[in-house]
Amino acid sequence: MKEALALHIESIINDNESIPRAQGVQSYLEAIEMSENEDFLLTHFEIEIPSLQKA
């Protein structure tokens, strides 16, 4: 999953698009509230994007 997300973000960078900024814990709580009791998983993890690494 982390590798897929890293590739997706790298693709966004290569397409000169803006990377969405993290919305914080409140956005998770709002998503849970709006879920209408649907089952889903929210997660948060750090990824490394090779093209963003400083030389």
Instruction: Please state, in angstroms and rounded to a whole number, the distance separating the CA atoms of residues 15 and 13.
Output: 5
18 has a pLDDT exceeding 60: yes
| Cβ contact 2:49 at 8 Å | no
pLDDT digits (tens, 9 = 90+) for 28-46: 888 888 888 788 777 777 8
pTM > 0.75: no
| Cβ contact 8:15 at 8 Å | no
The token pair that represents 27 in the structure block? 């956005």
| Cβ contact 7:47 at 8 Å | no
Average pLDDT over residues 17-31: 84
The token pair that represents 34 in the structure block? 């709006």
